[in-house]
Chain A
Amino acid sequence: MREVFHKETDLHNCTGVLLPGGFSYGDYLRAGALAKMSPIMPAIKRFAEQGGPVMGICNGFQILCETGLLPGALMLNKNLRFISRSVGMRVENSDTVFTKHLWQGQIVRMPIAHAEGNYTADPETIRQLEERQQVVFRYVDPVRHDAPNGNPNGSTNAIAGIVNASGNVLGLMPHPDRAAENIIGSADGFPIFLAFAEAAQSATRVEHSF
């Protein structure tokens, strides 16, 4: 595993790309809008288009949407405030490279921490996402799973995470990275990293021509 600085232009033969959370460029202008322009992004875009596994968490998800690698946008939370809390998510599709160690319908718990996580897209895009089972995670109340307050930020259809049409790019607002060991409150995120690592290991090295 290695860190690639935003000013680099080469992914150094990486076989998987993780775009972590944080405030890239301070989230100034709009979350992810400036990161889209950073020198490393063309390489990530090529990597994703060639089928390499890419996972974006929180700000990473926002960057993937801004870049167009995932459809839709993440608007300001419905209450117009930053929200930091533990949420429940239901696994809506366990048949992706990222979710194969979770089971369909499983409720996982992890934190969210964002001001712009309100997933929005035009009705046709939403319909397609649902129909093609690209909605991978959906917010639910962690205690009473059908309770209406399970959706923390106003996301359309309570969408918490999606994959692209080819299934190799995942974006999600909740933080599996902050839920990967029990001492910090939940280990529910660990299987996602396990699956991602396996996907990266088994990925045939994409030929890079840059």
Chain B
Amino acid sequence: MSSVYSPVSLDTALSHGLTPQEYEQILEILGRTPTFVELGIFSAMWSEHCSYKNSILELKRFPKSGKRVLVEAGEENAGLIDIGDGLAVCFKIESHNHPSAIEPFQGAATGVGGILRDIFSMGARPIACLNSLRFGDLSHPRTAQLLDGVVRGISHYGNCFGVPTVGGEIYFDPSYNENPLVNAMAVGVVEVDKIIKGAATGAGNPVFVVGSSTGRDGIHGASFASEDLSEASKEKRPSVQIGDPFKEKLLLEASLELARTDALVGMQDMGAAGICCSCSETPARGGTGLKLDVDKVSRRESSMNAYEICLSESQERMLVILKKGKEHLAKDIFSKWDLHADEVGVVTDDKLFTILENGNVVGQIPADSLVLGGGAPQNRREHARPAHLDALLSFDPTHLPDPDDWNEALLALLKSPNIASRRFVFEQYDHTIGAATAQGGGASDAGVVRIPGTQKGLAMSVDCNSRYVSVDPRRGAALAVLEGARNVACAGAIPVGITNCLNFANPMKPENYYFFHESVTGISDACVALDIPVTGGNVSFYNESASGPVRPTPVIGMVGVLEDVSHHVGIGFKEEGDFIALLGSIGPDLGCSEYLAVYHNVVAGAPPKLDLEANLRLIRLLPELAKQGIVRSAHDLSEGGLAVAVSECSLAGNIGCLLTFPWKEQVVNTLFAESQACALVTVSHEQWPALKRAAEEHVVPLQMLGRVGGELIAINDWITLPLELARDLYDNSLADSLGL
């Protein structure tokens, strides 16, 4: 590596991943050649990962405001939603795909750590985590190893930190063979008057780096995340950071204790691009400058230079700005929790980020020029519809032969890796810590957690069917939002907002960018229809390897509120004799279905019909049914259609069912179509009239299907499946086929 004092040229810039135009721009901003330290900082801050340079113009199309919104997306680390009683909820999802591809355990662990810091740097106490994972084909040699490492990493970090992991999703597809997706979401709650801002204000105020010491791990992690994965990526293993969840727990307690004093001005977590990111974003937000003396930063290795200190992505660190004269408060609190608190600099009024080493200025950059929304590049990218989509969309599944045996078809679906129980995985996540989890750990549409000190609950879920998105991105992305909303509504909650993690391939290729552009439109359309904002999120481009791009995967993290957590509803059938009813209508929605993929080995056809109005009516009805105590269980239809949904309800409740349809045709659609805007509910005999009335009022179609009871899953003379047989396949297939 060149020394801090090496002269910089265009070649140095190119080797840092900057383009010639970007280098020109840097020369213009500085009015001179940058120093080596400055160049490193520009390359990290202007990387795709930090600057969102190829996505921000699209992201501006998301609806961000609403009557519950206290802080909009982009203003702080995460948006804030008012949930009444002086409380706000903040939540965010982020990717850690590339680190996890190279080093699955630490990659996933630090992904969890990073998103938790985003939440508690705002003063919020994290109350739940979720994750959304994508892996390659089960037969691919790396899949089992990647999955095992990622799950252990999430388990290691989340469990030790002490936050329950209450939900998630896992899908498998060959496109993720080399490039798995690891998206972690965290949800926190804060008293509205205790919100911490990520701004450096008040010239003369001292600036601290608190938490862990700074090492050489993760240097250029942000740039690493901003290129395609290749064989050479393995050499970047040092770009993967090492997590210490116990230190993060201490950092949480110390940060929240500091937030309760009158000493705090601002706080910003250190994630991508470490010190240089937090030291440029906080003054940029505050309209100030910041002078940093790298010699005062606690280091793990004595020989580290300014370049390395600025770019290190060592975990479990925060930047803290205090009121002058209150320094002792921070020192006392952090020493109580055995953490470093180094006074490393001062807020200035010159709007410059100045770096001192050995008393010399080794870098001085206008803070605003480094950050998103300031001087960082914003590019409009071309998008072009791939020609192969027409053929995929026009595929007509009605010409395919029906299975000879519907039981066999259902069994094949129940053991499909995309449907089979994730018990093997979620049992490794502590979902009960905090003694507040009303629903979590698998058998539910959404995790439900009580908000400490209140009767309220939050329901949350993560969703994306990337098969739909890969054929019709606008519709697929909208359906992901609606699925999330149905999930929290089934649990009894009213959706209040989404975060999203937009996982796409190289944005420089117009055919890739088409999927991104269309997905943004689909998400916006669905959010507008539901009247909920996008509170923030993350874009992860360059998810492709030599074998091609991953499926476009815009993961939606949905959060809903229950005014009374005791009203929450699970998916499991409850009582023998209860009526089973379908809300919504099933149509010929076999395109891109799990049935086609599993039984006919086909991924094609138009994704299920998108009916925003029908979804909206159902999503309004479900929490009402929960609140009035009308339904005993609720589960929306998704992958595998009605047959899989009833099986899941039976297995979760450990009780059978008997369903009768008054027709003999359209069996395949009835059983396996993935029609949206549908939910299965159960009610007692006494509550049937109330359900009927409510469905009529909300203009949602209602159809009586049968009763709960027995030890069989039975549907007409099509399906007769002993519960124990279904359970054995459903519970054990995933771990068995992975050999874990």
A1: CB under 8 A from chain B?
no
State the CA gap A135–B691 with chains docked (Å). 50
Query: A177 to B432, alpha carbons, bound, how many Å?
Result: 10
Say yes or no: B246 contacts A28, CB within 8 Å.
yes
From residue 197 to 244 of chain B, which have CB atoms closer than 8 A to chain A?
A: 244
B161–chain A nearest beta-carbon distance, Å: 8
Q: In the complex, A21 Cα to B244 Cα: how many Å?
A: 19
User: With an 8 A cutoff between CB atoms, is A23 at the interface?
Assistant: yes
Question: Is A81 at the interface (CB under 8 A from chain B)?
Answer: yes
Which chain A residues in 17-69 approach chain B with CB under 8 Å? 21-23, 25-28
On chain B, the residues within 8 Å of A178 by CB distance are: 432-433, 435
Residues of B within 8 A of A147 (CB): none
| Cβ contact within 8 Å between B428 and A84 | yes
Residues from chain A with a CB closer than 8 A to the CB of B450 are 183-184
A65-82 contacts to B, CB under 8 A, are 81-82
Bound-complex Cα distance A27 to B437 (A):
24
A173 to B217, CA, bound (A): 36
Contact with B along A125-159 (1 / 0, CB 8 A): 00000000000000000010000000000000000
Known: A84-B428, A84-B432, A84-B441. A26 touches B566 (CB 8 A): no
- Closest CB-CB distance, A192 to chain B, in whole Å? 14
Residues of A close to B432: CB separation below 8 A: 84, 111, 113, 175, 178, 184-185
- B159 / chain A contacts, CB cutoff of 8 Å: 23, 82, 84, 113
Count A-side interface residues using an 8 Å CB cutoff.
23
Kindly provide the distance from the CB of A18 to the nearest chain B CB, expressed in whole angstroms: 14
Q: Is the CB of A85 within 8 A of B438?
A: no
Asked if A82 contacts B441 (CB within 8 A), the reply is: no
Q: Which residue on B lies nearest to A34, using beta carbons?
A: B246
Minimum C-beta distance from A77 to chain B (A): 10
Contacts of A85 in B (CB 8 A): 427, 441
Beta-carbon nearest neighbor of A111 in chain B:
B432
Using a CB-CB cutoff of 8 Å, which residues 173-187 of chain A contact chain B?
Answer: 175, 177-178, 180, 183-185
With a CB–CB cut-off of 8 A, which chain A residues contact B565?
A: 183
Q: Residues of A contacting B435 with CB < 8 Å? A: 175, 177-178, 180, 184
Known: A84-B432, A178-B433, A183-B566. A26 touches B160 (CB 8 A): yes
In the complex, the answer to whether B433 meets A82 with C-beta atoms within 8 Å is: no
A26-B246, A27-B160, A28-B246 as given contacts; A84 in contact with B437, CB under 8 Å: no
Interface membership of B245, Cβ < 8 A = yes
CB < 8 Å neighbour of B427 from A22, A27, A83, A184:
A83
Q: How far is the CB of B651 from chain A (nearest CB, A)?
A: 14
B→A interface (CB under 8 Å)? 152, 155-156, 159-160, 162, 244-247, 249, 336, 426-433, 435-438, 441, 450, 565-566, 654
Apart from A26-B249, A82-B155: 8 A-B pairs, beta carbons within 8 A: A21-B433, A22-B162, A81-B155, A84-B429, A113-B159, A113-B431, A113-B432, A178-B435
12 residue pairs from A and B, CB less than 8 Å apart: A23-B160, A23-B162, A23-B245, A26-B245, A26-B246, A82-B155, A82-B430, A84-B426, A84-B427, A84-B428, A113-B159, A113-B433
Chain A residues with CB under 8 Å of chain B are: 7, 21-23, 25-28, 81-85, 111, 113, 143, 175, 177-178, 180, 183-185
- The 10 A-B residue pairs whose C-beta atoms are closest, nearest first, are A26-B246, A113-B430, A23-B160, A111-B432, A178-B432, A178-B435, A84-B430, A82-B428, A82-B155, A85-B427
